[in-house]
A and B are shown apart, each in its own frame.
Chain A
Amino acid sequence: DVKVTQSSRYLVKRTGEKVFLECVQDMDHENMFWYRQDPGLGLRLIYFSYDVKMKEKGDIPEGYSVSREKKERFSLILESASTNQTSMYLCASSLISRQPQHFGDGTRLSIL
């Protein structure tokens, strides 16, 4: 079974800090995704990657960047954290486009 592991379940950071959220998948999937989930807004795509060193902006990329140096790892970076980035962050992977995505358990990030 596919396993997507996010490095932290809960994280508390301060405004202005640089924050790294890590995600690792163990099934050699080509595609990886970062979403944020907020009450009443559902899931919104931040960034995604179709291959190593490739990245594409999703619907809400402002204030975020990503890194994919290895196929199994996809990192989300908050360059200078702000309170409006307090949210649940979900990582996902899929074998190819249009196939089901597999999700990690999420990281609940609080920016104080």
Chain B
Amino acid sequence: AQSVTQLDSQVPVFEEAPVELRCNYSSSVSVYLFWYVQYPNQGLQLLLKYLSGSTLVESINGFEAEFNKSQTSFHLRKPSVHISDTAEYFCAAVGGSEKLVFGKGTKLTVNP
């Protein structure tokens, strides 16, 4: 069965520092990958997606993620974070079962 592992449950960083949120998935078939962000008291919003094509995908607010098939990873990165990036981030994958499977989330806290 498909599984998604987010290696860090909490990541504290200082403002303007770079950040990487790690995500690994398990799948032996083609897989579609997503990152969602959840701000306090809100639902999940799609941040970026990998469906096919270029392995590097970018969001409009400076985040990027790279699909690495050999390492079965889809890590999320941002070169310089802002206070407003404080949120919980979820990695998700859909594979052969057609069901979206979520990781347990990473809480990113950006400190001044």
Contact = CB atoms under 8 A, between A and B. Distances in A.
A50 B17 CA distance: 43
Interface stretch (B44-52, B56-64, B67-75): B44-52
Given A98-B51, A101-B100, A105-B41, 11 more contacts: A33-B100, A40-B104, A42-B105, A43-B102, A90-B43, A97-B94, A97-B98, A100-B34, A103-B36, A105-B42, A106-B42
Contact of B94 (A43, A58, A90, A98): A98
Interface of A: 4, 33, 40-43, 45, 48, 58, 90, 92, 97-98, 100-106
Contacts of B32: 98
Contact of B99 (A40, A45, A100, A106): A45
A72 B38 CA distance: 24
B25 interface: no
Contact of B90 (A42, A45, A102, A106): A42
